Amino acid sequence: MQLLDGKFASEHIKTQIAEEAADFLESSGRKPHLIAILVGNDGGSETYVASKMKNCEKVGFKSSLVRYDTSVTEAELLEKIREINADAEVDGLIVQLPLPKHIDPEKVTETIDHRKDVDGFHPVNLGRMMRNLPCFIPATPYGILLMLEAYQIDTAGKHCVVVGRSNIVGSPMSILMARNANPGNCTVTLTHSRTKDLKEIVLQADIIVAAIGKKNFVTADMVKPGAIIIDVGINRETSTLTKSGYKLYGDVDFENVAPKASWITPVPGGVGLMTIVGLLKNTLASAKKEIY
């Protein structure tokens, strides 16, 4: 078994991003700028957004955080998004999900200018992705592609089984792995909570993308020897054993699956770190007007 090391791959790519950001600053007189909007104080969202901001600073981007209390109205939030859309010195805008129940995430997603939608959630970006046109690819699937590329994993002709059909990961990942691109060119099966005979299907996979959000969901008896395992799960459990007060678990039973795998991502230290890289690359591409 070999580790798909998110720390190693992400640091390598971030060095390149930092160099490009420095070139951009020299030629344009400003830094690439990402704004994140955070509503409420969900523990997971706080951690993710803080990490996104910190990584922006690390690679020489400007980052701004706009915070709202859970009581913010949908109208107020949409107005803020429109204001940021109109600011020529902002390259990327993300609204951290989930949002409180009284705010429609579809409205929020569609209000963000697709040319600043560095999360790649806007229907224009998703539609362009379907057609293999230049677009912002959702950050986590993008990070996974970058990881496969960094380790020169040949995916062509392989059977990729995606477990989970979320808008953020599973659905776009299934499209990307089937595209005529590299990485890509897979035969893809997208499975979900209503899939029958899930174990038998996952057993056929050369590549498993586990994005179902359940601790240790993929067990060793579901994995073909030599399979490549991409674990997207970030399941938090409170723990007295760690400094942060919680411990992270993937969607894959790492301990028992790893010995059967050819390649596997750890949690933490795998896909999560690559997600940030996907976001940074989208923000840089936006600043450099490489897509729109």
Kindly report each contact of residues 233-238 with a partner whose C-beta sits within 8 Å and lies 24 or more positions away, as own/partner.
Answer: 233/267, 234/44, 234/267, 234/268, 234/272, 236/43, 236/44
**Closer by beta carbon to ligand GUN, 129 or else 257:** 129
31 is an active site residue:
no
Could you say which of 5, 20, 117, 119 contacts ligand GUN (CB under 6 A)?
A: 119
Does the protein bind ligand GUN through residue 96 (CB under 6 A)?
yes
By beta-carbon proximity to ligand GUN, the closer residue of 97 and 124 is 97
In the set 168, 205, 273, 280, which binds ligand GUN (CB under 6 A)?
A: 168
Of 94, 162, 274, 285, the one binding ligand GUN by CB under 6 A: 94
84 marked as binding residue = no
Shortest CA distance to 91 belongs to which of 292, 290, 283? 283
Helices (H) and strands (E) in the chain — how many of each? 10, 11
Q: Pick the catalytic residue: 31, 80, 96, 117?
A: 96
The three-class DSSP label of residue 179 is coil
Distance CA 123, CA 138 (A): 11
- Give me the least distance between CB of 126 and ligand GUN, in Å please: 14
CB nearer ligand GUN, residue 32 or residue 272: 272
Per DSSP, what are the bridge partners of residue 62?
A: 33
**Residues of the binding site for NADP(+):** 164-166, 234
- Which residues sit at the interface with ligand GUN, rule CB under 6 A? 94-97, 119, 139-140, 168
